[in-house]
Amino acid sequence: TMIDESTTPEEAIRIAIQREKAAHEFYSKAAQIAKYPGTRQMFESLAEEERRHRRILEEELNKDYYKEM
């Protein structure tokens, strides 16, 4: 999903959450099929980063200031 001038901040955050979720799933799957420990650790680390990003975005949805944008 793309965003444009008509996209509300809430919509943009929701889109971003979905993208973070998809990225987390991608990196988690890549970690599962990685043959080398270093590669697996890299993908696990990236998956965790995406999880953190998603949590940050979800916290933003609970704030009121973005509604003023």
pTM of the model: 0.84
Q: Please, which pLDDT band fits residue 2 given cuts at 50, 70 and 90?
A: confident
CA torsion 46→61→67→19, rounded to 10°? 40
Q: Could you give the CA distance from residue 8 to residue 16 in angstroms, rounded to a whole number?
A: 12
Taking only the tens place, the pLDDT of each residue in 4-58 is 999 998 899 999 999 999 999 999 999 999 999 999 999 999 999 999 999 999 9
DSSP code string of 24-65: HHHHHHHHHH-SSHHHHHHHHHHHHHHHHHHHHHHHHHT-SG
Residues in Cβ contact with 54 at an 8 Å cutoff, skipping those fewer than 6 apart: 17, 20, 21, 24
Q: What pLDDT score was predicted for residue 23?
A: 98
